[in-house]
């Protein structure tokens, strides 16, 4: 087994945790590679890049949920399970806390883990295809005027929203931006998507939960006001009046290494209690 190491330098500022994991893998004679931007900080380590043909069999990420989102598409496209080490405050997606680093080598060497599958989104806009693990968002491009959006589900008109933005979230993303905007918390094994308006200028606008087999179209209305299309926090495209974003369930899934029974509701309670104190800051 070849293990990839992908670290967020902003979280692991001195790469102390990354160094400990590298030393742990060396002591266990494990085959590992380090993402090129991080590998430059170490001597005698093999590196990998997203363009390499030879890919890791499993990916250890060091950071928080944002770190996982940054590599989720690459791992999903190549069917690489992710084992997240949490250096953030929340870590809904991560599996290992710093205090349990010593578990990693034993778990991976002996295969003492399960692989959990998570639904992803696929969107097409301006001929460009993007994917997301958490959400696709259409939001006003600047701090000026709100956006006007017509939303369609399976070809049927759902509603018009005059709002700061609109979120299409997976169950995984239901505890992220969608939750902050008033959306429902959804079990990760539910086969649904959450549609959540952001600060809608209407008393009747409410979040809507639909089947993940349904297709969503967001059509920008108005008089030329532009909007940004954001996938997992990254702006991927800008659209203008009458342009559409087509969103559906992706053919690929994100895979996660789980080393213990994953009780979503206990984890949810713990993380939300933390969030209430820190405001979700990582």
Given the residues 65, 143, 164, 232, select the one marked as catalytic.
65
Buried b (16+ CB within 10 A) or exposed e, 175-198: bbbbbebebeebebeeebbbbbbb
Report helix angle 103-110 to 16-27, nearest 10: 50
Residue 212 bears catalytic tag: no
106 secondary structure, DSSP code? H
User: In this structure, what token pair is assigned to residue 229?
Assistant: 């299309």
Three-class DSSP labels, 125-168: ECCEEEEECCEEEEEECCCCCCEEEEEEECCEEEEEEEECEEEE
Strands (E), 74-231: 82-86, 96-97, 114-125, 128-132, 135-140, 147-153, 156-163, 165-169, 192-198, 208-211, 216-220, 227-231
Structure token digits, residue 165: 């933005």
What is the SS3 assignment for 86? strand
DSSP tag of 53: S
Asked if residues 176 and 66 have their Cβ atoms less than 8 Å apart, the reply is no
Active site residues: 65
């Amino acid at each position: 087994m070849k293990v990839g190491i992908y670290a967020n330098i902003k979280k692991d500022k001195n790469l102390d945790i990354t160094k400990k994991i590298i030393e742990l893998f060396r002591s266990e004679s494990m085959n590992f590679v380090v993402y090129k931007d991080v590998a430059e900080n170490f001597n005698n380590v093999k590196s990998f890049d997203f363009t390499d043909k030879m890919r890791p069999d499993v990916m250890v990420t060091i950071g928080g949920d944002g770190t996982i989102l940054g590599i989720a598409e690459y791992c999903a496209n190549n069917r690489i399970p992710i084992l997240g080490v949490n250096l953030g405050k929340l870590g809904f997606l991560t599996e290992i806390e710093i205090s349990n680093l010593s578990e990693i080598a034993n778990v991976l060497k002996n295969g003492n883990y399960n692989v959990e599958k998570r639904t992803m989104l696929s969107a097409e806009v301006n001929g460009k295809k993007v994917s997301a693990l958490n959400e696709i968002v259409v939001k006003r491009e600047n701090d000026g005027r709100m956006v006007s959006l017509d939303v369609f589900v399976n070809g049927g008109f759902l509603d018009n929203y005059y709002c700061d933005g609109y979120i299409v979230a997976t169950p995984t993303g239901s505890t992220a931006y969608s939750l902050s905007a008033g959306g429902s918390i959804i079990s990760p094994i539910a086969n649904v998507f959450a549609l959540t308006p952001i600060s809608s200028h209407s008393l009747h606008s409410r979040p809507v939960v639909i089947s993940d087999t349904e297709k969503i179209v967001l059509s920008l209305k108005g008089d030329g006001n532009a909007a940004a299309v954001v996938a997992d926090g990254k702006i991927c495209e800008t659209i203008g009046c009458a342009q559409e974003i087509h969103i559906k369930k992706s053919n690929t899934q994100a895979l996660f290494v789980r080393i213990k029974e994953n009780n979503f509701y206990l984890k949810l309670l713990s993380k939300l209690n933390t969030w209430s104190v820190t405001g979700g800051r990582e």
